[in-house]
Structure 1
Amino acid sequence: MSTSVTTGTEDDVLASTSLLRFATAGSVDDGKSTLVGRLLHDSKSVLADQLEAVEHASRSRGQEAPDLALLTDGLRAEREQGITIDVAYRYFATPRRRFILADTPGHVQYTRNMVTGASTAELAVVLVDARNGVVEQTRRHAAVAALLRVPHVVLAVNKMDLVDYDEAVFARIATEFTTYAASLGVPEITAIPISALVGDNVVTASANMDWYGGPTVLEHLETVPVTHDPSDDPARFPVQYVIRPQTADHPDYRGYAGQIASGVLRVGQEVTVLPSGRTSTVEGIDNLGQSVDVAWAPQSVTVRLADDLDISRGDMIVPRDATVTATQDITATACHLSDTPLKPGARVLLKHTTRTVKAIVKEIPSRLTLDDLSQHPEPGELVANDIGRLVLRTAEPLPLDPYADSRRTGSFLLIDPADGTTLTAGMAGDAFAEVAKEAAPRQAEQDDEGWDF
């Protein structure tokens, strides 16, 4: 018999684990908040006073068992109506991985909240009520996940206890959803039968579904690969702040501080500063007060260049051979977030990485119908929760990558210049054209392989 000993504190262990950002989505009453509550409760990520508050609130509503959905539905209106309205973020950890969870609403009128929650997610959990199967909102959320380039999607077929844990029901729903999601170009889909209320296959394996041999929800979340080699991406360094300390020790110090959005920067690397197009060489990189030879995303560093260039906040440092160029004419796919409609001719502020410029909406060529992915031409305006194509003209050139290539440097926000309200979330390029281009070979492959349970 052998014994393994782990040294170090719990903080040391957590610091060495990877981080997964994921979001939940699904139709109304599919059990998203209950799933999240069950996940937190069964993984022992709920403090005693939080559980006591939930138990008290549940008893006041006449419920004998604690309503775990209340762990995430914190707004008074949410508790009164029994629905999720706003995105609820929760942070928890297991010995294997750290998590940032976004519990998003299921109502059609809160699609914009789902876009907000999934915009930075590496995985989306889409819930389906086993009694209802794939419904319109299920397809809508799958389409949004594809649009936002979420690399992993989990189909959680919930309430299996209400269909007598029938394998055929699960197989039918999994096949229908997988076929649809694959047609959108979703790269990886995992189907799991669960009962969030009872706890089947959420954290512990279900004794009621011995026909299922796959992972539980937590097991999949802990093991899904999210590691990414930053050297695979082109380097992008938006300048946030220019540092000129003017000290006796460093009278000529000039550094450009910010967070590396993607890729790797190295000392000696030839770079171009956009939008000016001037070139230089990386002379030094400072990380936490120490000089380093290499830095990668998402580190926050200070970069020193060999030449004295005119660089300010909002400029972007890229490799000299980078394909990205600065432009004032932008075609994008956008989700409108504001209750105020967006119309052609609207004058807005466009925020891209650390740069904010004036812009005008020249055209709204089409609006997307998420139910069947058809394009409604010349809609005249985008209202709250609409997703459509925009043509913009900015006052200054911006170095946008296609969103399909980079979620960080391919995204932007449109802001109301009068009051600073966020109007629209944009993705450079025709996102659904890119999805459709990639979907065809994946759909053919799915048709060939079928679905194995």
Structure 2
Amino acid sequence: MVDNNQLLRFTTAGSVDDGKSTLIGRLLYDSKSIFEDQLEAIETTSKKKGHEGVDLALFTDGLRDEREQGITIDVAYRYFTTPKRKFIIADTPGHIQYTRNMVTGASTANAAIILVDARHGVIEQTKRHAFIASLLQIPHVIVCINKMDLVDYSEEAYNKVISQFEEFSSKLLVKDIRFIPISALLGDNVVNRSKNMDWYQGAPLLHTLETMHISSDINKVDARFPVQTVLRPQSDEFRDYRGYAGRMASGVLRKGDEITVMPSGFTSKIKSIDTFSGEVEEAFAPMSVSITLEDDIDISRGDMIVRSNNKPEAQQDIEVMLCWLNNSPAKPRAKYTIKHTSNEQKAMIKEVLYKIDINTLNRSSDDTDMAMNDISKVRIRTTKPLMVDPYRENRTTGSIILIDDATNETVAAGMVV
């Protein structure tokens, strides 16, 4: 029964010390998803640190620096299963200098849990993480108002945070926002319903996660096949074989389909679709396959095979919402390497159209400098055309990253508008 369970990927976000790691530790602990040796190791470490009980945050804070500082730095992934669903958790950092890790953890999530300290309410990092969740098209956001035990389980404090968040979130593109009052430390409304908050009539967090509807984020309409490599076996049996190998980014391709190779524009028909297990009649995302064509066409890594009646735009001037991730600010008209599916090109930031003010979500076209954690709409010029779709329609062909050629560091992640 468990093997057939639907998988839910969710990320936790919020400001530092809002209790993200403790919440995940409580979920794992109360759902009995921790091995005995793990529990013993954490109990020992908790005693050494002088804690009376188990420090639940240690279940996710695995790096030595994290344990010493009591904060989360890297993205910690945890896996657990209940009788109703399987879960992958991405515990992301709250410190502002690690916002880039939050982007990484949230990029594949079906839902985002945003923690808010009931004493402090909605602050800048809360808004930043909520905006990134909206930007990444995460369909479900659960706002957990944590540390309710420190405000005497006050319904008034809970409602105050809701009104703060709703005032801000009215400008976000999030379909589903839910609010749950919790105490991650004591377990109120995490796995079990709280006896201290009779005024809250909703479900606890785990039940919400178990019953939440998950819609696939894979575009099933637009057939996109980025070519990763060309297969030319040397054996006599397959001497004439020329296959184009890669992973279906979206949609479906079938044997006999009329296709176009982008950006060259050459057309052909699919002769066969091969997998490790043998030939198949169709390929759909996210299958890895090798496609052969009826005509010999010059195709190489970075090209894209698409249906002739459904082509993406081949663009050299691309408008993207860009999250700047690097400590060093963006350099005007500097050269970067842009990665898009299997394609790599040289690129430059041609123009910063506007920058987002995280606190108000207002657009500023006067301030065009991009420093770490800034989110801006920019126009990027590439040396050769890229086959892109808007990110809201296709997560795979609508996302890019920029790499600094000098340091080889990933400096920015972007979503095609």
**Fold match (TM-score > 0.5):** yes
Residue matched to 1:268: 256
Deviation at 1:179, TM superposition (A): 4.2
Indicate whether 1:216 and 2:204 are aligned: yes
Tell me whether 1:189 sits opposite 2:186 in the alignment.
no
The match for 1:79 is 67
* Offset from partner CA, 1:8-49 (integer Å, 9 cap, x none): xxxxx4442222211101112111110011111112222222
Partner residue of 2:386?
A: 398
Q: Residue 258 of structure 1 aligns with which residue?
A: 246
Q: Which residue of 2 aligns with 1:279?
A: 267
Residue number in structure 1 paired with 2:295: 307
Partner residue of 1:249 out of 237, 261, 264:
237
Quick one: distance in 1 between partners of 2:50 and 2:201?
37
C-alpha displacement of 1:323: 4.2
1:284 is paired with a residue whose SS is strand
Write out aligned runs for 1:233-382 (5 A).
233-382=221-370
1:67 aligns with 2:55: yes
SS where residue 111 of structure 1 aligns?
helix
SS in 2 for 1:113: helix
The 8 Å contact of residues 10 and 111 in structure 2, kept in 1 or not, is answered as yes
Q: Does structure 2 conserve the Cα–Cα contact (< 8 Å) formed by 1:111 and 1:385?
A: yes
2:238 alignment partner, SS class: coil
**Residue of structure 1 equivalent to 2:194:** 206
Counting only pairs closer than 5 Å after superposition, residues 410-425 of structure 1 correspond to structure 2 as: 410-425=398-413
- Mapping for residues 101-140 of structure 1, pairs under 5 Å: 101-140=89-128
**Structure 2 counterpart of 1:373, which letter?**
L
Letter in 2 for 1:388: S
CA distance in structure 2 between the aligned counterparts of 1:259 and 1:15, rounded to whole angstroms: 24
TM-score normalised by structure 2 residue count: 0.95
Residues 380 and 143 of structure 1: CA distance in aligned 2, closer, same or farther (over 3 Å): closer
Change (3 A) 1:133 1:419: closer
1:447 alignment counterpart: none
Query: 8 Å contact 2:223–2:250 — kept in the other structure?
Result: yes
Hey, what's the Cα distance between the residues in 2 that align with 1:387 and 1:230? 25
Between the aligned partners of 2:317 and 2:215, the Cα distance in structure 1 is 34
Secondary structure of the structure 1 residue equivalent to 2:322: strand
Q: Secondary structure at the match of 1:197?
A: coil
SS of match in other structure, 2:388: coil
* Matched residue type, 1:192: I
Going from structure 1 to structure 2, the CA distance change for 1:183 and 1:231 (only over 3 Å counts) comes to closer
Instruction: Give the whole-Å Cα distance in 1 for the aligned partners of 2:207 and 2:231.
Output: 45
Letter in 2 for 1:176: Q
How do 1:15-30 residues align onto structure 2 when only pairs under 5 Å count? 15-30=3-18
Task: For 2:186, give the aligned amino acid.
Answer: V
Unaligned runs of 5+ in 1: 1-12, 430-453
Q: 1:43 maps to what in 2?
A: 31
User: Secondary structure at 2:195's aligned position in 1?
Assistant: coil
Q: 1:426 to 1:298 in 2, by over 3 A?
A: same
**Alpha-carbon separation, structure 2, partners of 1:371 and 1:53:** 41
4+ long deviations beyond 6 Å: none
Q: For 2:24, give the aligned amino acid.
A: V
How many residue pairs match? The answer is 417
Moved more, 100-109 or 224-233: 224-233
Question: In the aligned structure 1, how far is the partner of 2:170 from the partner of 2:325?
Answer: 27
What amino acid does structure 1 have at the position aligned with 2:348? Answer: I
2:213 aligned with 1:225: yes
Deviations 1:294-325 (A, max 9, x none): 22211212222222211111111112122412
Q: Which amino acid aligns with 2:373?
A: N
The CA deviation string for residues 40-61 of structure 1, in whole angstroms up to 9 with x for no partner, is: 1112222222222211221111
- 8 Å CA contact 1:230–1:264 kept in 2: the answer is no
**3-state SS in 2 of match to 1:64:** coil
Q: Which residue of 2 aligns with 1:442?
A: none
Deviations 1:366-397 (A, max 9, x none): 22211111223253531111111222211111
Is 184-193 or 238-247 further displaced after alignment? Answer: 238-247
Q: How far, CA to CA, are the matches of 2:224 and 2:84 in structure 1?
A: 30
Aligned residue in 2 for 1:57 = 45
Q: Secondary structure at the match of 1:361?
A: strand
Aligned mates of 2:402, 2:219 — CA distance in 1: 31
DSSP 3-state at the match of 1:326: strand
| Length-normalised TM-score, structure 1 | 0.87
Equivalent residue letter for 2:287: Q
Contact kept? 2:112, 2:142, Cα under 8 Å? yes
Query: Residues 125-151 of structure 1, C-alpha deviation per residue, up to 9 Å, x if partnerless?
Result: 001112222222222211111111111
| Superposition deviation, residue 231 in structure 1 | 6.7
CA RMSD across the alignment: 1.8
Contact 1:158 1:193 in 2 (8 A): yes
1:163 aligns with 2:154: no
Aligned residue in 2 for 1:8: none
Letter in 2 for 1:52: E
Structure 2 residue 19 is matched with structure 1 residue 31: yes
Retained in 2: the 8 A contact 1:364–1:378?
no
1:93–1:211: structure 2 CA closer, same or farther, 3 Å change rule? Answer: same
- Paired with 2:121 and 2:30, the residues of 1 have a C-alpha distance of 26
